[in-house]
Structure 1
Amino acid sequence: MTNDAHQPRASFDTWGPWALLAAGVVASAISARPVGMDRTGMTVCAALVPAAVVLQLIWGRVKRRRPGPSRTGVCLYLVRWAIAFVLTWANPFFAFYAVTGYYTAARELPHRLVLPGLFLTAITMAGSEIGGWPPHGLVLWVGFFLVLLVNMVMVSVFTRYALQEQNRSAVQAETITELERTNTALQQALEENAALHEQLLVQAREAGVADERRRLAAEIHDTIAQGLTGIIAQLQVVAGATDLATARTHLDRASALARHSLGEARRSVHNLAPVALEDTGLPEALKNTVTEWGERTGVRAEFTVTGTAEQLHDEVSATLLRIAQEALANAARHARAGRVGVTLSFMGDEVVLDVRDDGTGFDPAAVPARTRAGGFGLDGMRARAERIAGSLTVESEPGHGTAVSARVPLVRHDR
């Protein structure tokens, strides 16, 4: 775009002075008799026109080697002005050639010499416009200065306008260049973002697979593992039972646990809600779970609901139920508790599940070392809570029981 804009100007700089010199020669030859050119004037023109041709040839070579303002350019400008001034003195119609100084001053002269160069050209043009040099009489001299003043005012206005246009063009060129750089950078950023997007998709897919594996592992742990643990406990009681009625009771419980665990396993694989939530809400499911756990373990277990109960989103309900089941399973395996309390609290925009026991307690700082050896336990419960933007805290001390608290957002069931 910039090259295209400068092409017409470069072409005019090349052939413009030649055309204006030719126009001056033709006009002067036609007007020689009307303006009263004498033999001396014709001799001067015959000598200076070839000099102007040679000057223009030299100027062309200089400009090809060194574009822009230079000392050589200043000298050539002054020589051309002098030739044009004398030619205009000989015949006013050589002003065609003299006008070349107007449009070349800003490009051929340093900034500080532009106005003086324009002033010299204005002197030549004013002399031509009053009929030629020298002015004869006071009236013509007054007319010369008036015309010179008008020329200088017009030159100043047009020069100011040209400089503004030049500055505007420079700003536009810089803006276009900056936009091109910005577009290039934006294109590169878009390409990088596309590559990053593809990479993130791959990572998200891998993370999703890993998360799904952890979820299924936790589900199997919470269903099959806990069910098998309960079945083993019931069978151990049967093995030590002294009467048939007691053995049959614990065998029935073991059978019920096996059926329950099988249903849980099937639904976990299909990512469905726990069996206990299939036909009831979370409060009722927790109540049944606590009651069954208490009957199975022989530990006094109580369940309480505080606040206004609401129907929760399936994922929230399933998460809290799984946490409660894991906490109760831990209490049965490790706590040797005499009493367990489970509280479900609806608190504005949060739901809090608390599981407390009066068992042996433990040191929470030692739990990570234990859980790394295998199983899910507290880490699994914490991961479940965090998966739905919740949190889980554990408070325990050896000999003073354990309190597990899960706090999750209250997300209502989709209507």
Structure 2
Amino acid sequence: MTGLLGAQRDDTPLLAVVVHSAFYVLLAASLMRWLIRHGDSSSTPVIIVFAALLALSYAMSELRQSHRSAWFALLVTAWSVLVVLAPSFGWCAVPLVYTGLRILSERVAVILVAALTVLVVWSQVRLAGWLDPNLVLAPPAVAAVTTALFVAMRRQSERRAALIDDLVRTRAELAATERWAGTLAERQRLAMEIHDTLAQGLSSQRMLLQAADRVWDTDPRLARTHLRSAAAVAERDLAEARRFVHDLAPADLAAGGSLAAALRALAERESTDTLSVRCHIEGSAGPLTQRVQATLLRIAQGALANVREHAAATTATITLTSLDDQIVLDIADDGRGFDPDAQTDRAEFRGHGLPAIRARARQLGGTCTVESAPGDGTVVSVVVPLAES
């Protein structure tokens, strides 16, 4: 609460200056009135001392954060003595009410205001010498209005502080959520890149090294050919790893090559003694963004990795078709196929194969469909609107 009141005090510096100035003006006026009318009274030294004590305690209650309540208690005591000795000092009650409402809790401050009001009414009636309705009713009315306004301001400040706290907390939670979402997105990107490039390359290297091992003694020349091919795959995968770590384009597109050329090069690399990969380009789409070209190439790489690892196919075909409002990428194979509805929970269909292809298609605003049946091969079709490319 102290911090809140301090914040409230900082929000109304002009009001604080006005109230403080009014207190010292009223104090000086009350003291001058006493000196003019009762300067030769024996109570004058006492009045001057308590007036000085009142000025000092008021300043200390405003300036000192430590022992503030003690200074305020001394302030109220000095004022009460002055009002008893000189009723004209009752006008200083308005700044005291303001200070009490700021320093004390709401309940204690209201009780103090009521007590100060009673003392002011008593002193003014005693000063007038007769029961004046204006003197009896005006001070309570002023005190009530002042208290109501200040309590309303305090509660509004509390609500505003609570709202600000909620806003700060919500922003912190939102920032944490965004950081976590960014982390998950980056993990997904790396997982898809690894599946479509490094995992595919490592699988090719394994097959080449196994083939070299089988003919190492009988055909050393062919074995060396397989080793050189494995080294070339490793070199290409190393370049791919460096590029996707930095979120760059695939190596086949880095030199400014077209998507069609990159797909043809992919088909040529993936063709082996047991798998023939063909590439068909139909139509001519306008210039595609680097993001779209890279994503479609990654989709083709991931689909061919699935063909090689799961389909047991002998042929696969990559078809890129450019239509008026969309571009279609199909990867078909003549492998053993599967039932997409019944087989999606099997272990070989888990991971980052088809889920990664679907995720990449959604990133481009497109769709991915899989057509397959046991013994009839598989067709993976990705459709991307040209407006997204």
TM-score (normalised: structure 2): 0.55
Contact 2:310 2:348 in 1 (8 A): no
- Indicate the residue corresponding to 1:253 in structure 2: 229
- Structure 1 residue 353: deviation in Å? 0.7
| Counterpart pick for 2:263 among 277, 286, 304 | 286
Higher mean C-alpha deviation, range 360-369 or range 201-210 = 360-369
2: distance between equivalents of 1:347 and 1:244?
Answer: 49
| Counterpart pick for 2:184 among 210, 215, 232 | 210
Structure 1 residues 87-118: Cα deviation after superposition (integer angstroms, max 9, x where no partner): xxxxxxxxxxxxxxxxxxxxxxxxxxxxxxxx
Contact 2:281 2:321 in 1 (8 A): yes
- Indicate the residue corresponding to 1:317 in structure 2: 293
Contact 1:393 1:405 in 2 (8 A): yes
Superposed, which structure 2 residues align to 1:127-142 within 5 Å? none
1: distance between equivalents of 2:348 and 2:361?
Answer: 17
- Indicate the residue corresponding to 1:355 in structure 2: 331
Counterpart amino acid of residue 372 in structure 2: S
| Counterpart pick for 2:197 among 212, 219, 223 | 223
Sequence identity of aligned pairs in percent?
A: 42
**Helix, strand or coil for the counterpart of 2:368?**
strand
2: distance between equivalents of 1:205 and 1:266?
Answer: 24
- Structure 1 residue 311: deviation in Å? 2.5
Structure 1 residues 380-407: Cα deviation after superposition (integer angstroms, max 9, x where no partner): 2112222232221111111000000112
- Indicate the residue corresponding to 1:334 in structure 2: 310
**Helix, strand or coil for the counterpart of 1:352?**
strand
Structure 1 residues 284 and 185: CA distance shift in structure 2, 3 A: farther
Contact 1:297 1:332 in 2 (8 A): no
Structure 2 unaligned blocks of 5 or more: 1-133, 135-157
Contact 2:365 2:388 in 1 (8 A): no
Contact 2:285 2:327 in 1 (8 A): no
Count of aligned pairs? 247
Structure 1 residues 281 and 185: CA distance shift in structure 2, 3 A: farther
Q: Which has the larger radius of gyration?
A: 1
Superposed, which structure 2 residues align to 1:95-110 within 5 Å? none
Contact 2:283 2:322 in 1 (8 A): yes
Contact 1:310 1:412 in 2 (8 A): no
**Helix, strand or coil for the counterpart of 2:383?**
strand
Structure 1 residues 239 and 351: CA distance shift in structure 2, 3 A: same
- Indicate the residue corresponding to 2:360 in structure 1: 384
Superposed, which structure 2 residues align to 1:14-413 within 5 Å? 195-241=169-215, 242-279=218-255, 280-294=257-271, 296-365=272-341, 366-370=343-347, 375-410=351-386
Contact 1:337 1:358 in 2 (8 A): yes
Structure 1 residues 212 and 325: CA distance shift in structure 2, 3 A: same
Contact 1:312 1:412 in 2 (8 A): no
- Structure 1 residue 239: deviation in Å? 1.3
Structure 1 residues 336-373: Cα deviation after superposition (integer angstroms, max 9, x where no partner): 22221111122233221100011111121312342686
Contact 1:371 1:379 in 2 (8 A): no
- Structure 1 residue 319: deviation in Å? 1.1
1: distance between equivalents of 2:348 and 2:295?
Answer: 20
- Structure 1 residue 326: deviation in Å? 1.1
**Helix, strand or coil for the counterpart of 2:328?**
strand
Structure 1 residues 397 and 186: CA distance shift in structure 2, 3 A: farther
2: distance between equivalents of 1:322 and 1:309?
Answer: 18
Contact 1:311 1:412 in 2 (8 A): no
2: distance between equivalents of 1:310 and 1:185?
Answer: 58
Counterpart amino acid of residue 261 in structure 2: E
Counterpart amino acid of residue 361 in structure 1: G
Structure 1 unaligned blocks of 5 or more: 1-59, 61-183
Structure 1 residues 411 and 285: CA distance shift in structure 2, 3 A: farther
Counterpart amino acid of residue 284 in structure 1: A
Counterpart amino acid of residue 293 in structure 1: E
- Structure 1 residue 297: deviation in Å? 4.7
**Helix, strand or coil for the counterpart of 1:368?**
coil
Counterpart amino acid of residue 401 in structure 1: G
1: distance between equivalents of 2:349 and 2:374?
Answer: 21
- Structure 1 residue 195: deviation in Å? 4.9
Structure 1 residues 12-68: Cα deviation after superposition (integer angstroms, max 9, x where no partner): xxxxxxxxxxxxxxxxxxxxxxxxxxxxxxxxxxxxxxxxxxxxxxxx9xxxxxxxx
- RMSD, matched Cα: 3.6
